[in-house]
Copies of this chain bind each other. A is one copy, B any other.
């Protein structure tokens, strides 16, 4: 059975590969930076954040959590030489809509007690104030930065307008 995802992947990739000419890009990002943003379906980082192919690492998780991205950021900075991180969270983020208790209640309601029990130990890393959380993540990254001289900035992407603005 073919699914939405498989169909998009196979058909979209056929078109993409037919015109593909950038097979010789180097492994380390050519512009030495990393973007940390949310997995939200409404964000297309390459297009919306102007990232040329090969230029930057793009790390994505639920809520653009810096803690959750720590291993990837260490690899990016320590092993692949990036010197800049853009933290981009966004308006309308799912992680703004529930705390751990609400999330677990939702799982119980949607999926039943067995499922709720299995997610009991998870910290969903949700947050209630978008700009405050961006500042907090940037501060945390600065305080834990393994290396001096990494430039870290924080931004809001507005899913309603497609615009970014700098917070910190």
A residues in contact (CB < 8 Å) with B = 3-6, 8-13, 15-17, 20, 22-25, 27-35, 39-44, 46-62, 68-69, 71-72, 74-76, 78-80, 84-86, 88, 92, 94-95, 98, 103, 106-107, 110-111, 115, 118-119, 122-125, 146-147, 151, 153, 155, 159-164, 166
Contacts and interface: CB of A to CB of B under 8 A. Distances in A.
Contacts of A166: 6
B72 A39 contact: yes
A61 B52 CA distance: 18
Given A27-B92, A98-B79, A115-B147, A59 B71 contact: no
26 contacts: A5-B31, A5-B85, A6-B84, A6-B153, A8-B51, A8-B56, A9-B86, A10-B50, A10-B164, A13-B164, A15-B50, A16-B50, A17-B164, A20-B163, A30-B41, A39-B60, A39-B72, A59-B61, A59-B62, A60-B60, A75-B95, A78-B103, A79-B103, A80-B94, A111-B146, A119-B146
A56 B41 contact: yes
B74 A119 contact: yes
A50 B12 contact: yes
Contacts of A55: 4, 8, 41
A49 B8 contact: yes
A50 B86 contact: no
Contact of A78 (B6, B10, B68, B106): B106
Contacts of A147: 111, 115
Question: Considering residues A4, A51, A166, which has the most beta carbons from chain B within 10 angstroms of its beta carbon?
Answer: A4
A119 B71 CA distance: 9
